[in-house]
Structure 1
């Protein structure tokens, strides 16, 4: 029999805690000059030296954390440029819904109608026709020529109706997709400093889409409706501005740089964050993980605020006659929506990492959360799960033995799922992270009986007889 065979579980746990404290104090005494006393000067200077080293380490950690946050912002932007703006399928998938938006439809209809009416000059055409009628038909009064503006207005309204019907049809949606897919090479050319025929960059920093194919299709529909004079419409070159900025040249330089760095920036950001944790003072690296993850999350919030501010600046800079404000807002929101989705994804992952690192720590708040969760699990399972007052089952002892390995495996598995998920959204990241956290907590709960039993055996076995 051991001397503490009659000790309760609480007494054994307290005894184990006291022994751990004695071991820690002995280690600190040894590092300050050894058990035999050592040089007084060395013992006196050891404390300040450790404080100086800790200050240097935390300073280096802070610098690396800020750098990691900045690199994370750049990595999100680079991935957006490569996977969204320079990828044909993703680009078309982004701009395709614009064909069904009323603001964009109205803007396109106005541009096409104005181009056709300007080419036809229906008022002059009608006046000449009515004049010819009065000249060849003496009984027709000359006052009928005065109806030319009214008839021209009716014809212009009919043309506008036909254009509006077309841009609201599935035929226009298909033409919009085809035109944007064909023009995507020119989008890439614009963003990398070139230009193309269907979508070009102008000298004033505007990116414009050629609506010539839309005019040709409407012309055929007008002829089919009996307006044979519409066949006289020549080849029309009319455009609609989808983006305008005086900083287009700067955007082109950033696009080229992001395209080159898109593959490496995310990994560099992760490496710098890991280095920030590595240089933190020993025993404080979990706290460094919380700081690094929180800094990345703050960087994503800053990026989101930057997008919001950029939206307001962009809408204020685009003239209404170039692109109506409603259409400009829809175009901007559609194009940057994937960027918002990516930053939300990174934000969720960073917050989950920060929260998980905090909850596994020794702080009072973290312990309170863990104890509360254990209490809820125990109540939900009728006291069976996480019960440390009974002998553990064999599988609980096995989980307790490999709890660290299982936790690392679950975290790595969750990370791999996120990495190999094709264009994960913020919602995908949230649910994967939530499932990973639940599984990690489940491992801790299931390992509790085996861990407590092992600790009790250790205390009992080391107590003198």
Structure 2
């Protein structure tokens, strides 16, 4: 008896055979693409998540590690009218608290009364006591105002900022040459060594030869205990490390994510847009934080307008990297679109290329050509483009403050320069011997 074949079994066997033959190839072809896409997405997400932290820690690192940047940002406060008014009020209050003008004037006029003056002169003298005190206060205030508004005070302010920053960062870094000392246990003290050395040198300069016998002093005068300062030292070192490495990690993650993407143009576009949006949100958060800090300041120790000036000066350096990241994000998205496989971008590239070809052709027919220099530019076109982009980025990074006008000017200048380089470049002669920029006849179709 012959058994009829089961078509289901045959179909299953055929399917298994097909799967067994195609699965390895499909696996080799599909799995790497999927793996690349997954890794690309992970790297881009990591870069986007840490980018605000990288921006903030990079700014904090510059503020903490660079005394020059710190002084450059806060030194202009000496010329701020609100800060000058606050300093004048505080200085006048301190002087009047130390000097009893009423008592001095009273003693002075009491002494004058003992001079046996005529009655009318004595009566007039009594009337002058209050105006004299008021005049003295006016002279003190005007003198303080002139001092605060002088160039000498601006220099003193900058030197004070520099010394304060160096002392604080030196203490946090454990520098033994700073006047402020912080032990590992959190004990704060004054290091007498630099002070004694300075006094010793001044005595020697003044002819006091006995000062040469003063030895070097290594003594710490303890001022108190602070566990918070120990935490501050840890935070200081942490910020220095994060500010150095996080931007590099962020850059590598962005680059790796885009390079691993299957559709690099789309990945670069969305990465650039996301970076710009996140940076803009960070700018909004900084603005909200400044408003919160300003509202928390009480007018008694610090007037509101002076507090606003100080907060603005302290955070002005953070606006620089935020603007830079927004610019990089937008420019990255635009460049990725223009160089990507999109209809609009392709049409624009064809139109630009056709225009450049016509301009080159017209110039060559008029006897104007870049010759060997143009051919060299064509061979090195990738290098020249990279150099232009790097120079533009360096200009943006070094521009302080970074304004919107500067960003637009640098970006447009870079675009125009790239266009000029493309125009000056001279592609190699085609095989048919026709010069560059001269359209060739279409080949006949079969």
Q: After the TM superposition, which residues 26-425 of structure 1 pair with which residues of structure 2 at under 5 Å, given as runs?
A: 40-41=18-19, 58=37, 60-134=39-113, 137=116, 139=119, 148-188=129-169, 254-281=235-262, 284-371=263-350, 373=352, 377=355, 383-385=358-360, 406-412=381-387, 414-415=389-390, 418=393, 423-425=398-400
1-structure distance, mates of 2:17, 2:423: 48
8 Å CA contact 1:397, 1:447 repeated in 2: no
Provide, for residues 44-84 of structure 1, a one-character-per-residue CA deviation record: whole Å limited to 9, x for no partner.
99999988987775554344223212333333323323334
SS at match of 1:161: helix
2-structure distance, mates of 1:178, 1:44: 74
When normalised by structure 1's length, the TM-score is 0.63
Shift of 1:142: 7.5
When normalised by structure 2's length, the TM-score is 0.66
SS at match of 1:107: helix
Give the aligned partner of residue 25 of structure 1: none
Shift of 1:298: 2.2
8 Å CA contact 2:41, 2:257 repeated in 1: yes
Shift of 1:260: 1.9
1-structure distance, mates of 2:97, 2:54: 48
8 Å CA contact 1:107, 1:323 repeated in 2: yes
Shift of 1:292: 2.1
1-structure distance, mates of 2:371, 2:341: 23
Shift of 1:397: 12
2-structure distance, mates of 1:76, 1:62: 21
2-structure distance, mates of 1:407, 1:100: 48
Give the aligned partner of residue 208 of structure 2: none
Provide, for residues 289-319 of structure 1, a one-character-per-residue CA deviation record: whole Å limited to 9, x for no partner.
2222222222321221122112111111222
1-structure distance, mates of 2:314, 2:81: 17
5+ long unaligned stretches in structure 2: 1-14, 183-227, 433-438
Shift of 1:91: 2.2
Give the aligned partner of residue 229 of structure 1: none
TM-aligned CA distance change 1:316 to 1:48, over 3 Å: farther
2-structure distance, mates of 1:342, 1:136: 73
TM-aligned CA distance change 1:52 to 1:91, over 3 Å: same
Give the aligned partner of residue 223 of structure 1: none
Shift of 1:272: 0.9
Shift of 1:153: 2.2
Shift of 1:113: 0.9
TM-aligned CA distance change 1:185 to 1:289, over 3 Å: same
8 Å CA contact 1:191, 1:255 repeated in 2: yes
TM-aligned CA distance change 1:136 to 1:59, over 3 Å: farther
Shift of 1:253: 5.4
1-structure distance, mates of 2:340, 2:424: 19
2-structure distance, mates of 1:39, 1:404: 52
TM-aligned CA distance change 1:451 to 1:62, over 3 Å: farther
2-structure distance, mates of 1:280, 1:386: 39
Provide, for residues 119-169 of structure 1, a one-character-per-residue CA deviation record: whole Å limited to 9, x for no partner.
112122222333343355474658965764443222111110111111111
2-structure distance, mates of 1:197, 1:324: 31
TM-aligned CA distance change 1:421 to 1:308, over 3 Å: closer
